[in-house]
Amino acid sequence: MGPVLEVRNLTKRFGGLTAVAGLDFELREGEILGLIGPNGAGKTTIFNIVAGVFGADAGEIRFAGEPILGLPPHEIARRGIMRTFQHNRPFGGMPVLENVLVGAHTRFRFNPFSRKSSLEETERRRRAEELVAFVGLGELRDADVGTLSFGQGRLLEIARALAGEPRAILFDEPAAGLTPAELDRLAAIVRGIASRGIAVLLIEHDMRFLLPLASRVVVLNFGARIAEGTPQEVRLQRAVMDAYLGDAAAQ
């Protein structure tokens, strides 16, 4: 099966600094690809280019065979790539379920004045309720988002992204700020998402969280790929240890 997302020769410069240098990687259906690297390795820049927030200086990104580099974020979402934010960004004026329904925005087909619009709304609401339950916020579906804990806010981000019925989902450091119990729950949810056939790209800092979870890992340093493989393979490479993993992960 061909890749869902292909990144070829991606290059991004900020003034004199090359943040991403001729990067290649691909993401396949149902896999969990981890993009790791030390601070400043270009992880967030790559994430933002794929999500349409930044442009690039060179290279190509194809999604489902179509070039998507340079499209604005809403077009990227419309094509089936949804994302979460590292710092939770809920819609503060709406309860949990409504937040998730915003994620389904691109799935609505009928104009608000048509007769079918109400049926569609009911159907989407039902699916959104399922997703809220899937991430474990079922009890809180009518709660004000301001009352959620940080970890619950992260789960809301995930449910909201899933509501768009994406083919690929991008997680921006999802483990950041979570408690150990929340990390376990998050790992189970990410596995559940991949098992639905959705391609998962994880940008992550936390090795203990990522290595057991990822099917494949791309290691970055100074915006370039220095290693790629299964977590087992990557863990043993000298360059990776030098660049990033250090003593803790090599143990």
Partner 1 sequence: MRLAAWIGVFAALAALPFFLGSYHNDVYRKMLLWITLALGYNFLFGICGQVAFSHFAFYGIGAYSVVILLFQVNLPLPIAIVLGIVICVLLALAVAIPATRLEGFYLALVTLALAQLFIVVLNEGGAVTGGTGGIANYRLPPILGWRIAGPAYTVVIVALLAATLAVLWRLDRSWFGRACRAVRDNPEAAAAMGVDVARTKVIVFTLTSALAGVAGMVYAFVDNTVNPPIFGLDNAFLILFMVIVGGAGRHAGAAIGAILLFLLPFWLAPLVGHHHQLVFGALVLAAILVQPKGLVGLWDRFSR
Q: Which residues bind partner 1 (CB under 8 A)?
A: 51, 53, 72-74, 77-78, 82-83, 85, 89-94, 98, 101-106, 108, 112-113, 117, 121, 124, 160, 164
Q: Smaller CB distance to partner 1: residue 19 or 50?
A: 50
User: Which of helix, strand or coil describes residue 200?
Assistant: strand
Q: Smaller CB distance to partner 1: residue 14 or 108?
A: 108
Q: Smaller CB distance to partner 1: residue 51 or 245?
A: 51
Q: Closest separation between CB of residue 170 and partner 1, Å?
A: 9
Q: Smaller CB distance to partner 1: residue 143 or 187?
A: 143
Q: Closest separation between CB of residue 115 and partner 1, Å?
A: 12
> How far apart, in whole angstroms, are the C-alpha atoms of residue 87 and residue 71?
23
Q: Closest separation between CB of residue 89 and partner 1, Å?
A: 4
Q: Closest separation between CB of residue 127 and partner 1, Å?
A: 13
Q: Smaller CB distance to partner 1: residue 73 or 197?
A: 73
Q: How far is CA 134 from CA 32, 98, 163, 189, in A?
A: 19, 16, 11, 8
Q: How far is CA 105 from CA 87, 101, 113, 167, 227, in A?
A: 21, 7, 16, 15, 38
The first and second tokens of residue 62, run together, are 């194809």
Q: Closest separation between CB of residue 73 and partner 1, Å?
A: 4
Q: Smaller CB distance to partner 1: residue 28 or 125?
A: 125
Q: Closest separation between CB of residue 178 and partner 1, Å?
A: 19
32 φψ region: left (φ > 0), alpha (ψ -120 to 50), beta (else): beta
Helices 96-103, 116-134: crossing angle, 10 deg rounding: 110
Task: State the DSSP string of 52-121.
Answer: TSS--SEEEEEETTEE-TT--HHHHHHTTEEE--SS----TTSBHHHHHHHHTGGG--S-TTSTHHHHHH
